[in-house]
Amino acid sequence: DTAVSQTPKYLVTQMGNDKSIKCEQNLGHDTMYWYKQDSKKFLKIMFSYNNKELIINETVPNRFSPKSPDKAHLNLHINSLELGDSAVYFCASSQTGGNTEAFFGQGTRLTVV
């Protein structure tokens, strides 16, 4: 059983398109995140949701709109894709309170051409 799963694994699209990445966790966690890993492997937090509420938005362009329909899902929609959006996007989840270990999805490699 995959704890945190993202789809798709690879996404190649043209500039200007709109695309979505889906994330689901079956760990019963109350917090979910999106991270962006650039070509230099730097991992930067984008969003954090707790119980479906946006907690953290790290100055991400408003072309990026996360949506959390329930605690187990956090989807990322990106409008008007740009070349600079090419990266690996990781979804993660954790539980607030005691053990805050983050569990990661396998990543979505987005390539904008």
Q: Which residues bind other proteins (CB under 8 A)?
A: 31, 33, 35, 40-45, 48, 50, 55-56, 90, 92, 94-97, 99-107
* CB nearer to other proteins: pick between 13 and 57: 57
Q: Give min distance, CB of 13 to other proteins, in A.
A: 23
Cα separation, 95 vs 7, in Å, equals 22
| Residues 59 and 44 sit within 8 Å (Cβ to Cβ) | no
Q: Which amino acid is at 21?
A: I
Q: Which two tokens stand for residue 93?
A: 């989840």
* CB nearer to other proteins: pick between 41 and 70: 41
Cα–chain-centroid distance for residue 68? 11
How do 10-13 and 108-112 pair as beta strands?
A: parallel
Q: Give min distance, CB of 18 to other proteins, in A.
A: 26
Q: Give min distance, CB of 16 to other proteins, in A.
A: 30
